[in-house]
Structure 1
Amino acid sequence: MLNSRMTILLRELMAADTALTSRYLASITDVSSRTAREDIKQLDEMIEGAHIESIRAKGYKLTIQDNQSFRNYIKNAYQEKQLDDAVIPNSPEERVRYLIKRLLLEDSYVKLEDICEEMYISKSTIQNDLKQVKQILKKYEIVMDKRPNYGLKVKGSEFKLRFCMSEYVFERDKKVKASKQILLDQLPFLTEAQLSKIWTIIIEEIKENDITPSDIAINNLFIHLAIACKRIKSGNHVSIYKINLDEILNQTEYAVADRIVTKVEGCLQLTFPHEEVAYIAIHLMGTKMISQTNLQDEEIREVLDDDIYQVTLSILNRIEEKFDLNIRNDRELIVGLALHLKPSINRFKYGMNIRNPMIDDIKFNYPLVFEAGIIAGIVLEEEMGVSIDENEIGYLALHIGAAIERGKMRQGPKRCLVVCASGYGSAQLLKYKLQSEFDSKLEVAATTEYYKLQQCSLADIDFIVSSIPIPDLLPIPDLLPIPVIEVNTILAEKDLEKIEMMVFKNSTRLFEYVKENLIFLDQPFSTKEEVLTFTCKELEHKGLVDHRFLESVEEREAVAPTSFGNLVAVPHPITPQSNQTFLSFCTLKKPIQWGDKRVQFICLLSVKKGSTEDLQSMYEMLGKIIDDVSLVQELLKSKSRYDFAQLLVSKS
């Protein structure tokens, strides 16, 4: 049976008259290129009467071999999909999302007995699921009102109810489905023609008024406007404090919103109050972007509010202090991040959420970048008094990730200076031996005698290789300390190893951090809190951390769950707490709920305080584990610490 991603891929391939690249197909299904290629391979094995041809340097093209057979396959697949969409939720995650959607879309009270019958589950099961529902709704300041003989009903401000609806009624796992079709499914009183008209109205107005939101922002506005129509039809209106409404009325975006609403009113025969117009205006204020990114320094200061500019610098300073990513002076990052924060102020100010359909992929594929986004969020809260959720953190992380990738592109080989007291011949021997061993990974910038060292420019020199003792940190004015590696003139194996560590400084070997006494297998815990308490207490007993460690780990979890999918979570303190870097592993008898995902494999990561160890490499290696379904399953089956450690190291 076709899953949702394969359905989209097949639809795209059928509509295209040229080959489509895996990169493009990955983007429309919001997965990695590797996952897209695997989906295409499975799809090719399933379809009948056709073949997906891989064309070198061009991509994939659907070739129909038997038209009738292919038509029959499409018809059957569609019917199966219709049946599949009606399947009753089975897993706890599916039931929780079903319950949230059910409660949000119901205007009256719902009896538990009725929901139990709908999902074919017991009352005790639904009571347990409702605990998770309650926790999720709490984030939106929505409560469940329970009345005897009536049932349950959700209550909260219209703002929060809509935000929650946008997140859970129009689920992220359906993000690749056309927005209009999702709305048609969930809001049957809106016809496709009406939704098309609303979309056209939005596009026309933002173009005419030179407002340039991103594609995702337009999609958010479209969804929220449709939700507003449903809520108004139900007699529910947004309430905005008078002071805020007066403030919004003076904005250019209010006039644009008023024109949008006037046209929508004519289309749907609804009457929007001023508060609703203001609500749309807030969306426009919160999503507009300044498109110029190639501004000069003085122009940047004119465009950016000084407080935004200063908080951007504070964010980058804090990130650099913790992660040493060498991005603090990236001008493009400063501009991009500040320009992103400028319109974000309106979202923060009015407590609006913004959906980020890429959030799971960001957390999964770029965990270090997401952690840097967490730091950005903390600085924003400290300096601006605003609290942002993981969706917004994900967008901040994208800017940071782009800067890291730019840095990689600028990096050439490591450069060293050779110092030798034995004369020109031995210096050249050292030079050519190094070039032979490390090839393009190391450039020997020059050779010199020790007495001439002060005359050498150390600009762009990463380290010194010397055959005589030199103070490890050279006190050269106006230059950063340069590491010195002392070696024999005739390089021995141990000399090469020392140089190799410097050349490949960004490489981290997992086995250095895997200790058998920090592995806890097949534990019986049933909650995230139990796992963290147990693991942190064990670390405290072993003298690796103090009593504040657990609190720091919980503080990080409160910002955004560290569950990554594939049953894996990587909890860690919000700031470095230990005197050494280590990993602690815990596997569970049964999966538990960890945020919005199920988790059975826990890797607790602690980085040494003040460390400049390359976290990117560490996270990349952990990412390989997270991404390897079979490896995680093998590790979960391990019965001895030794076998677990050996398996882990062999695959890293």
Structure 2
Amino acid sequence: MEARKEMILRELMGSPSPLTGKHLANRLEVSTRTIREDIKLINEELENHGALIHSKRGIGYTLLIEKPTSFRSFLNEVTENAESQLTSPTTPDHRIYYIIRRFLLSDNYIKLDDLADDIHVSKSTLQVDIKEVKQRLDNYSLTLMSRPGYGMKLKGSELNQRFAMSEYLFDRERLSPELMWLEQLTPVVNLSQDELNRLWDLLLEQLRTHKITLSDIAINNLFVHIVIAYKRVREGHHIALVDEDIKSIKKKREYAVALNIMKVIEKALNVSFPKIEVIYIAIHLLGTKLVRDQLSTNETIETVMDDKIHSAILAMLSAVEEQLSLGIENDRELIIGLGLHLKPAINRHTFGMTVRNPMLEDIKNNYPLAFEAGIIAAMALDETFGVTIDENEVAYLALHIGAAIERKKATNKPKQCYIVCASGVGSAQLIKYRIEASFRSQINVLGTTEYYKINNIPFDETDFIISSVPIKEELPIPVIEVNATLEQKDLTKIEQYVSFEEKSITDYFPETHVFLKQNMSSREEVIDFLSAHAKSVDDLPDNYTELIYEREEIAPTAYGNRIAIPHPISPQTRKTFLTVCTLNKPIDWAGKKVQFVCLLNVEKNSQEDLQDMYNILGQIVNNEKLVHKLIDSTTYHAFIQTIIRMED
């Protein structure tokens, strides 16, 4: 089965509800007509295998499985065929991976005409793909060298080629880590599954012996790198490192561990590795977590953490607190977690290693506030250590920060309130008991008082006032006015305050800030348009637009699902507001298609809790049908009602 048809089948298998032709066309970047033709061909293949793709006008496509056993057999055949032959790629991203793999696996020149014929595209299309290939290879300090009459050939250090191989030779998204070496490494390195399983057991044994704690992903990466080393050494390729690097690595404990690992592998494979390969393994151990699982309760952070790393973490968290006011800078678990991650991250940076975070897109989409905090922390790390990390590392920082945010929520003290009532002590006590019954863990009533004693309230200890009488004086804390009988609408009003839902949907998306169905063709045009509007409603610095582009340089703000949420690199406005722009046609935004853009501006030095706003944005990002409805909206009323119905 061709790759595109397989993708259609996978989409339908993974969806609990029917999928429209438009949805599938957007996912595969083809026309709806192509989807119809592909589904017709898929049904011909499924005819004798117990399944059928059913189409219903106005509803979409549904995969109906009538004979599960027969269908599973069919899927096994599809998977085996996909692994046994290198299928011609059918999407732009697949072509990029295919081309990179071809160059990584070839020691010879490759002619562009031959490559174009292999993947069934024109030479002009291939030239565009090659440009993207060069950009990706540049991340590994690899280049494509051209020679007239011969073609192109990969050029770069052996070490960097191996790093690139570990990323591009294996489809890590489709296969689980446990199956990676069994189904993909076997044909590449010419080792049997039994031999690879034996190597895996030996590696785990060495890690246990030396008390090395690694994540599942890290162990898999290390294993893949070791097997690649075996393949490359057998082919006569060796690493070249400068003497200074070799001397510094040999002094580290990781070198001794790598030496032992290499000895058992040599014995198992009956091969002799050059001593330089031990350095190679040590580099990867330096890029993992060679630390104890936990910090004992009677040890201080400073006794087990490098002073420079500890200082860097404090600087990172200080920057996060300054810009986002999350209240997590003193979280001990967060400091320890960042410290354990930061040491290997810095080692990876030192030796030019890249790390792939399989959760990157999920983290960006589901934890936008934590990811934004990770970006701020990464900027502070660059300033403190001169270490620049990419999105994959930022996402790992975001995981630690996100956990701290959740811990903070769980330990939040109840809000302190005072009740003001003019009808006497009895009615005040009635309101108090109703509040305590309805908001047991959320509100603590400090006391009740009459209106004329309002100035006796300890404002520094009180978060807000619930009053059954109008209060005209300006007080230093919020006042929620309710009826003396405390009706359901009053309880709802109080709940909204406690839940940080003081703003309505229309406050976040006012009509003056929403621009629908715009005709713009580039990221730059959209950013310039939205930033110009922001400048018209707020007193902003002259370099405001440049600050947005500076943030884009660190990590593009396109979150997938046709959404981008650009913002300046640091808060610049007098108030927090969103500005939305939808486009008639999608534009390219750092490799992703975007048709819904939301410019986010956060108030300078704000103490406002923005989690509610981020939750709304997160729900939009993760709801593909909602995004399409918002893009299709032609009036503000339709736009805002779509979001309100999402909340309901």
TM-score bracket, shorter-length normalisation: 0.7 to 0.9
Cα 1:496–1:532 shift into 2, 3 Å: same
Matched, 1:578 2:578: no
Aligned partners of 1:545, 1:357: CA distance in 2, in Å? 38
- 2:37 equivalent in structure 1: none
Once the two structures are overlaid, the 10-residue window that deviates more, 352-361 or 181-190, is 181-190
SS in 2 for 1:153: strand
Q: Does structure 2 retain, via aligned residues, the 8 Å contact 1:430–1:489?
A: no
Q: Kindly state the Cα deviation for residue 387 of structure 1 after the two structures are TM-superposed.
A: 1.0
Within 2, Cα distance between the matches of 1:246 and 1:152?
A: 36
Structure 1 position 471, deviation (Å): 6.8
Q: TM-score, normalised by structure 2?
A: 0.81
Which residue, 495, 505, 510 being the options, matches 1:510? 505
**Is 1:615 aligned to 2:613, yes or no?**
no
Task: Find the counterpart in structure 1 of residue 377 from structure 2.
Answer: 376
Question: What is the CA distance between 1:120 and its match in structure 2?
Answer: 0.9
Q: Who is 1:74 aligned against?
A: 72
Further displaced range: 553-562 or 425-434: 425-434
Contact kept? 1:184, 1:191, Cα under 8 Å: no
What is the rounded CA distance, in whole Å, between the counterparts of 2:47 and 2:323 in structure 1?
A: 48
1:61 counterpart residue number:
none
Q: Cα 1:255–1:315, aligned 2, differ >3 Å: closer, same or farther?
A: same
1:453/1:515 Cα in 2 relative to 1: closer, same or farther (>3 Å)? closer
Give the conservation status (yes or no) of the 8 Å contact 1:170–1:182. Answer: no
Matched, 1:192 2:203: no
- Of 469, 472, 477, the match for 2:475: 472
Distance 1:588 1:469 in 2: 46
For 2:566, give the aligned amino acid.
P
Match of 1:215 in 2: 216
Deviation by residue 1:150-169 (Cα, 9 ceiling, x = unmatched)? 22223233333333322232
SS of equivalent residue, structure 1 residue 445 = strand
CA shift for structure 1 position 469: 7.2
Tell me: CA distance 1:72–1:429, structure 2 relative to 1, closer, same or farther (3 Å).
Answer: closer
Give the 3-state SS of the residue equivalent to 1:293 in structure 2.
Answer: coil
Q: Is the 8 A contact 2:309 2:343 kept in 1?
A: yes
Cα contact 2:579–2:599 (8 A) shared by 1: yes
How much does 1:382 deviate? 0.8
Equivalent residue for 1:411?
412
Paired residues of 1:47 and 1:70 also in contact (CA < 8 A): no
Change (3 A) 1:333 1:192: same
Q: Distance in 2 between matches of 1:544 and 1:644?
A: 28
In the TM superposition, residue 611 of structure 1 has moved relative to its aligned partner by: 2.3
1:563-574 residue pairs with structure 2 within 5 A? 563-574=558-569
Find out whether 1:128 has 2:128 as its counterpart: yes
8 Å CA contact 1:571–1:602 kept in 2: the answer is yes
| Shift of residue 463, structure 1, vs aligned partner | 2.9
Tell me by how many angstroms 1:560 deviates: 1.8
- Tell me how far apart the structure 2 counterparts of residues 452 and 646 of structure 1 sit (CA, whole Å): 41
Assess, with a 3 A threshold, how the Cα gap between structure 1 residues 556 and 436 changes in structure 2: closer, same or farther.
same
The Cα of 1:580 is off from its aligned counterpart by 2.6
* 1:588 has 2:583 as partner: yes
SS in 1 for 2:418: strand
User: Distance in 2 between the 1:160 and 1:522 partners?
Assistant: 45
Q: Extract unaligned runs of 5+ from structure 1.
A: 11-44, 51-64, 474-482
Across the two proteins, how many residue pairs are aligned to each other? Answer: 592
Q: CA deviation at 1:380?
A: 1.0
Report matched runs for 1:148-159 at 5 Å: 148-159=148-159
SS state of the match for residue 300, structure 2? Answer: helix
How many Å separate the matches in 2 of 1:533 and 1:157? 41
Q: How does 1:200-239 map to 2 (within 5 A)?
A: 200-239=201-240
Structure 1 residues 532, 637: closer, same or farther in 2, change over 3 A?
Answer: same
Q: For residues 214-237 of structure 1, give each alpha carbon's deviation from its aligned partner in whole angstroms, at most 9, with x where no partner exists.
A: 222111111111222233334333
Per-residue deviation, 1:489: 8.3
> For residues 336 and 607 of structure 2, what CA distance do their matches in structure 1 show?
26
State whether residues 538 and 574 of structure 2, in contact with CA within 8 Å, keep that contact through their aligned partners in structure 1: no
Question: Contact 2:140–2:161 (CA<8 Å) still a contact in 1?
Answer: yes
Match of 1:108 in 2: 108
CA distance in structure 2 between the aligned counterparts of 1:103 and 1:516, rounded to whole angstroms: 52
Secondary structure class of the residue paired with 1:605: strand
Contact 1:508 1:614 survives alignment (8 Å): no
**In structure 1, C-alpha distance between the alignment counterparts of 2:220 and 2:194, rounded to whole Å:** 17
Q: In the superposition, relative to structure 1, how do residues 441 and 542 fare at CA in structure 2: closer, same or farther (>3 Å)?
A: closer
Alignment of 1:13-24 (within 5 A): none
* Contact 2:431–2:486, Cα closer than 8 Å, also in 1: no
Offset at 1:91?
A: 2.5
Identity %: 43
Q: Which residue of 2 aligns with 1:301?
A: 302
5 Å-filtered alignment, 1:57-456, equals 71-83=69-81, 87-176=87-176, 178-181=179-182, 183-184=184-185, 187-296=188-297, 298-411=299-412, 413-419=414-420, 424-432=425-433, 434-435=435-436, 441-448=442-449
Encode CA deviations 1:27-72: one digit per residue, 9 max, x unaligned. xxxxxxxxxxxxxxxxxx999889xxxxxxxxxxxxxx99xx6543
Runs of at least 5 residues in structure 2 that lack an aligned partner in the other structure = 14-45, 52-64
- Shift of the 515–487 alpha-carbon distance from structure 1 to 2, 3 Å rule, reads closer
Q: CA separation of 1:351/1:600 partners in 2, compared to 1, >3 Å: closer, same or farther? A: same
| 3-state SS, counterpart of residue 604 of structure 2 | coil
In 2: Cα distance, 1:368 partner to 1:222 partner? 34
Change (3 A) 1:296 1:342: farther
Code of the residue aligned with 2:129 in structure 1: it is D
- Using the TM superposition, give the Cα deviation of residue 517 of structure 1 relative to its aligned residue in structure 2, in angstroms: 4.3
| Cα drift, residue 131 of structure 1 | 2.5
Hey, what's the Cα distance between the residues in 2 that align with 1:142 and 1:283? 19
CA–CA separation in structure 1 for the residues paired with 2:320 and 2:211: 34
* Cα distance, 1:245 vs structure 2: 0.9
* SS of match in other structure, 2:296: coil
2:557 and 2:453 map into 1 onto residues whose CA distance is: 54
* Alignment check: 8 A CA contact 1:513 1:582 kept: yes
SS in 2 for 1:334: helix
AA matched with 1:93: D
Contact 1:220-1:355 at 8 Å conserved across structures: no
Q: Paired residue for 1:56?
A: none
Deviation at 1:304, TM superposition (A): 1.4
Deviates more, 1:354-363 or 1:181-190: 181-190
Contact 2:418–2:466 (8 Å) recurs in 1:
yes
The alpha-carbon distance between structure 1 residues 566 and 143, as it changes in their structure 2 partners (threshold 3 A), is same
CA distance in 2, matches of 1:303, 1:345: 17
Change (3 A) 1:316 1:425: same
Shift of 1:338: 2.0
Letter in 1 for 2:479: I
Q: Structure 1 residues 233 and 589 mapped into 2: Cα distance closer, same or farther (>3 Å)?
A: farther
Shift of 1:117: 0.9
RMSD value over aligned CA atoms?
Answer: 3.7
